[in-house]
Structure 1
Amino acid sequence: MQIGIFIGGAGPATGVLDIVEQAQRAEAAGFSTFGMANIFSHDAMGALTLAGAETEAIELMTAVVPTYPRHPHAMAQQALTVQAASGGSRFVMGIGLSHKIVIEGMFGYSFDRPARHMKEYLDVLLPLLNGEPVKTDGEHYRGQVMLDVPDAAKPVSCMLAAMGPAMLRLAGARTDGTILWMTAAGVVESYIAPTINAAAEAAGRPLPRIVVGLPIMLHSDVDAARATAAEQFSNYGNLPSYRSMLDKQGAANPEDVAVLGTEEQIETQLRQLREAGTTDFVGVTFGSEEERTRTEEFLGSLAPTL
């Protein structure tokens, strides 16, 4: 199981050059992946373009960019630019539907039939990521488009934030995997892995990646760490897709699935995720600067062994 670090899911916003420095530190610490959420601060692909030019080997991942506000042609153009800036095949574009409260309530788009939207989105996006022109006449997207980014290695890897059954089947059949949040080991083993792996097998594709992102804190007092997690992540329990994952685990709140505790306790929880079928764990550190640094250093020390 590969181990990476994600930013943007907790704590205050930081400057764009600080993001580049965080990517450099993650690479120096031995993490496999440096990922960034795309919520209401910096544009993740823009920031990772800068990070790609200042790092050498670490994988760069968005987790995730919402599809509704960006035409798939614009999304592909940005992705190919990140790939070109990173000088190799190390950008993974994680995309997702976001949430009804965001898409309808904030942006004013319809969130009707979201899986259908994503299917048509991929019809345009995936060929462009492979350097191929696209002609489409779908319900949501119609037209003829192409891109020419000669210094970008192709195809750019694409993954979905897939948690519902229709999205998991789509992710397995057409993309490189799923990026999860607030999803515990028991749910990966009993639901996520069987669903997405079966879809990939039926489509004749390799087994997909299952990337699990969770809050993580190294702390000798689990109750204190859980209380801090409750303060920072409680809102995720109110979003239907994450609520569904928590309910499948029998977890009341987001802090109940966070990775918390001593070195031994954290390592045990990570091994459980690996045994459940997780291919990549990406930690979101939280708490004070000292707590985040201590957790990140310990997680980096595990990266070669898990």
Structure 2
Amino acid sequence: MRISLNAAVGMGGPQTVPHAVEEVAGAADNGLAAAWLPQMPPWAGIAGWDALTVAAVAGAAVPGIGLGTSVVVAQTRHPLTLAGQALTVQSAVGNRLTLGIGVSQAPVIEPTFGYPFERPVRYLREYLEVLLPALAGEPVEHKGEALIANGQLTFPGVTAPPVVLAALGPQMLRLAGELTEGTVTLWTGVRTISEHITPRITAAAETAGRPQPRVIVGSLVCVTDDPDSARALAAERFAGAGQLPSYGAMLEIEGVASAVDVILVGTEEQIAADLRRYEEAGASELIAVLFGTAEDQARTMRFLSAINN
């Protein structure tokens, strides 16, 4: 299983772009597979840097390491616009980008952006019917229920980035397996990956004649001898995550009450065992969000570096 870092999350508060680049450089220096950049919502107290712009800046400064977005919200950008931006970044970073996209959730989209959150699977299917050929440089002529798009993008020497979806529900997992390279998840425990995510997306990929899909698991990770304090810190910031519908459904499958119940906290031996269980469940990559004290975060990075190399 590949080990990557979710950079620029801003666990300690708003960050600058140079600080985000430092985190990507740290991931590269420690031999991690990739650095993923989140597209944070435009809420007070959060540095809502544009994920693709940060990926371009970081990729230009830091060679070698893979880069990804986890995830760009589809409703906020027309698929031709997103394709052009992603291909621009892909050119800047030497074809190291994975484009993660998703539709977010109604309690985020409707009050924040004012867009109706209706039939998200249909919307994202249409979105991909425009985005994927546009990324490949093919002409697009699309007039659907949700989207209209006409155009063609030409980027010499640029390879279309692989696309993964933030797919959790059955229909979205089917769509991800049929049309993309996989899913990137958050707040999903081992049982959920094993019994829900992996079998559904794999079956969809097999039916569509596609390769084994990527199952990318995002999780808070803290190597520590004081797990109670680490969990209290996580609960202070993230306990409400389970109230969002999609995440709440995943926690129900897992059989736990809170998002904090699926984070990875403990000694090196405990977390190594957790990662083995994730891999056995079908996870192909872990995106680690480091948290805890500065000492705990440094210890966690050393551990992740050791198991990834």
With the shorter chain as reference, the TM-score category is over 0.9
Partner of 2:45: none
1:121-132 alignment runs, 5 A limit: 121-132=127-138
The letter for the 2-side match of 1:26 is A
Normalising by structure 2, what TM-score?
0.95
Partner of 1:170: 175
Identity score, percent: 43
Partner of 2:101: 95
Aligned residues: 302
**Once structures 1 and 2 are overlaid, which stretch shifts more, 21-30 or 141-150?**
141-150
Partner of 1:143: 149
- Report how far residue 8 of structure 1 moved: 4.0
1:6 counterpart = 2:6: yes
1:189-268 alignment runs, 5 A limit: 189-268=194-273
Normalising by structure 1, what TM-score?
0.96
The letter for the 2-side match of 1:85 is A
Paired residues of 2:69 and 2:98 also in contact (CA < 8 A): yes
Partner of 1:77: 84
4+ residue segments displaced more than 6 Å: none
- Report how far residue 219 of structure 1 moved: 0.8
Per-residue CA deviation, residues 84-116 of structure 1 (Å, 9 max, x unaligned), is: 01113x200000011101211111111010000
Partner of 2:36: 35
Which of the numbers 280, 298, 306 marks the counterpart of 1:301? 306
Which of the numbers 272, 278, 293 marks the counterpart of 1:273? 278
The residue matched to 2:188 in structure 1 has which SS?
A: coil
Partner of 2:122: 116
The residue matched to 2:256 in structure 1 has which SS?
A: coil
The letter for the 2-side match of 1:3 is I
Counterparts of 1:77 and 1:43, CA distance in 2 = 15
Counterparts of 2:260 and 2:301, CA distance in 1 = 18
- Report how far residue 7 of structure 1 moved: 2.5
Counterparts of 1:8 and 1:16, CA distance in 2 = 8
Paired residues of 1:62 and 1:94 also in contact (CA < 8 A): yes
The letter for the 1-side match of 2:117 is F
Paired residues of 1:183 and 1:245 also in contact (CA < 8 A): yes
- Report how far residue 157 of structure 1 moved: 0.6
Counterparts of 1:23 and 1:190, CA distance in 2 = 33
- Report how far residue 223 of structure 1 moved: 1.7
Counterparts of 1:6 and 1:143, CA distance in 2 = 32
Counterparts of 2:132 and 2:253, CA distance in 1 = 31
The residue matched to 1:68 in structure 2 has which SS?
A: helix
Counterparts of 1:97 and 1:35, CA distance in 2 = 18
- Report how far residue 276 of structure 1 moved: 0.6
Paired residues of 1:184 and 1:249 also in contact (CA < 8 A): yes
Counterparts of 1:149 and 1:276, CA distance in 2 = 38
Paired residues of 1:8 and 1:38 also in contact (CA < 8 A): no
- Report how far residue 293 of structure 1 moved: 2.2
- Report how far residue 208 of structure 1 moved: 0.4
